[in-house]
């Protein structure tokens, strides 16, 4: 827009005072779509690029306070849509999928799969359309964690499977294609081919975020994903322990070499909370995730406790976000999930031109 516009300048300047809860580097001005002033009435429309619905009432109140008492009526309309991130490696788009988020770790046993499934469920609870792909071909666990280990996918067409529905999330896993007593004894190329089949031959239904639960390490699956799949961003899960951090660094370096942005780090098993007395103890060390995030200039997305209920609920097919949605643990997963989605929106804004804003002052 050319030329000075007092209303536009005023609205944008004030909205820049408000940081977006899940992406502090963005402000409400980044979501402004239109502004209209008529006498003592101001009407603003904002469209956020991630599922911010749970913050809508608080956001509305903040905006109204900014423009009162100058305007007697401040009408705020807040909406959202999942922003699509442009990938850098020019891979073919996956039909029915808007963004792909890889959840990875440098080593096994750090709680990556548990983190991935709760992130997926939290995004779905926030109103997004979500899918989860279990890319751990050798050791699939998502079918068990989502309580659908006994289900097999139906065919949508001769070349496409329908994803299995679980707790409002579309999912597919090798665990739904073989029995729990059938080991997958394949060489690397066969595993890579299986991943591409699971991804491309599943009829994803307009998914905003496809969470890919990666196997640990930096092997064939990781290379296949980076070379053949349009990944929007990666999330690294680690514990504070030095040996886990060492492997997590390798994971970050791998994603950087293949031009996949690392959105942030999740520190799992940050504190052990005693189920009897509530005593907290950092049995795997402290602040490891902080150091890793700082070293690579990425976000520390959150810290998760080592807590018996997380294991019990997830093993039973009802992860904490579903089993106890109002619990402190579920809230931590929700905050992490929304931060990831907001960071994707932030990336989409920096990779593309600014949105068009309409302003009228009658």
For the stretch 27-53, pLDDT in tens is: 999 999 999 999 899 999 999 999 998
The answer to whether residues 156 and 243 belong to one domain is yes
Count up the domains in the chain and report the number: 2
* Domain co-membership, 226 together with 261: yes
Percent of the chain with pLDDT over 90: 55
pLDDT at residue number 58: 94
Residues 293, 202 share a domain: yes
Is the separation of the CB atoms in 137 and 174 below 8 Å?
yes
pLDDT digits (tens, 9 = 90+) for 229-283: 889 999 999 988 888 888 889 889 988 888 889 999 999 988 777 777 777 777 7
Q: Is residue 255 part of a domain?
A: yes
Same domain, 76 and 191: no
Same domain (yes/no): 64, 143 = no
Do residues 239 and 115 both lie within one domain? Answer: yes
| 137 and 164 share one domain | yes
* Residues listed for the chain: 362
Q: Do 127 and 223 sit in the same domain of this protein?
A: yes
Q: What integer pLDDT is reported at residue 66 of this predicted model? A: 93
| Packed helices 112-125 and 308-315: angle between N→C axes, nearest 10 degrees | 80
pTM listed for this prediction: 0.90
197: CATH: 3.40.50.300
3-state secondary structure of 112: helix
Average pLDDT of 220-224?
A: 77
137-150 residue pLDDT tens:
877 899 999 999 89
Residues 182 and 43 in one domain: no
What pLDDT, on the 0 to 100 scale, is given for residue 358? Answer: 53
Residue with tokens 């690029």: 49
Report yes or no: 196 and 137 within 8 Å, Cβ to Cβ. Answer: no
60-85: pLDDT as tens digits: 999 999 998 889 999 999 999 999 99
Within this chain, do residues 132 and 281 fall inside the same structural domain, yes or no? Answer: yes
Does any domain span residue 231?
Answer: yes
Mean pLDDT, residues 186-214: 86
What integer pLDDT is reported at residue 267 of this predicted model?
Answer: 93
Sign of CA dihedral 184, 190, 191, 197: negative
- Spatial neighbors of 177 by CB under 8 A, at least 6 apart, are 152, 153
Mean pLDDT confidence for 198-223: 88
User: Nearest to residue 341, comparing CAs of 15, 81, 54?
Assistant: 81
Q: How many CB atoms lie within 10 A of CB 114?
A: 23
Two structure tokens written together for 67: 């423009």
> Pairing state of beta strands 73-80 and 207-213?
unpaired
Question: pLDDT band at residue 180, thresholds of 50, 70 and 90?
Answer: low
**Residues 228, 239: contact at Cβ < 8 Å?**
no
* Residue 53: domain span: 6-81+352-361
């Amino acid at each position: 827009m050319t030329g000075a516009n007092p209303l536009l300048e005023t609205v944008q300047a004030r909205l820049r005072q408000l940081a977006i809860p899940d992406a502090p580097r963005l402000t409400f001005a980044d979501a402004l779509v239109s502004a209209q002033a008529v006498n003592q009435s101001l009407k603003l429309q904002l469209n956020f690029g991630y599922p911010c619905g749970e913050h809508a009432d608080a956001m509305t109140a903040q905006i109204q306070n900014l423009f009162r008492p100058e305007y007697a009526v401040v009408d705020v309309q807040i909406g959202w849509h999942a922003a699509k991130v442009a990938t850098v490696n020019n891979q073919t788009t996956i039909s029915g999928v808007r963004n792909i988020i890889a959840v990875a770790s440098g080593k096994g046993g750090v709680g990556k799969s548990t983190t991935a499934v709760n992130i997926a469920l939290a995004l779905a609870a926030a109103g997004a359309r979500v899918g989860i792909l279990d890319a751990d071909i050798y050791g699939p666990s998502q079918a068990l964690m989502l309580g659908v280990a006994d289900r097999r996918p139906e065919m949508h067409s001769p070349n496409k499977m329908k994803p299995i529905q679980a707790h409002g999330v579309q999912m597919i896993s090798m665990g739904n294609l073989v029995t729990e007593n059938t080991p997958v004894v394949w060489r690397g190329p066969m595993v890579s081919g299986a991943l591409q089949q699971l991804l491309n031959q599943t009829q994803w239904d307009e998914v905003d975020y496809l969470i890919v639960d990666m196997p640990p390490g930096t092997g064939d699956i990781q290379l296949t994903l980076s070379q053949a799949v349009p990944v929007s961003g990666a999330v690294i899960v680690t514990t504070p322990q030095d040996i886990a951090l060492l492997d997590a660094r390798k994971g970050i370096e791998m994603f950087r070499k293949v031009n996949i942005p690392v959105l942030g780090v999740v520190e799992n098993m940050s504190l052990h909370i005693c189920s009897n007395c509530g005593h907290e103890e950092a049995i795997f060390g402290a602040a490891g995730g902080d150091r890793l995030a700082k070293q690579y200039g990425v976000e520390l997305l959150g810290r998760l406790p080592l807590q018996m209920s997380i294991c019990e609920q997830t093993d039973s097919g009802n992860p904490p976000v579903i089993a106890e949605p109002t619990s402190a643990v579920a809230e931590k997963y929700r905050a992490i999930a929304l931060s990831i989605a907001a960071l994707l929106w932030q990336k989409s804004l920096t990779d593309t031109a600014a949105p068009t804003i309409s302003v009228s002052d009658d």
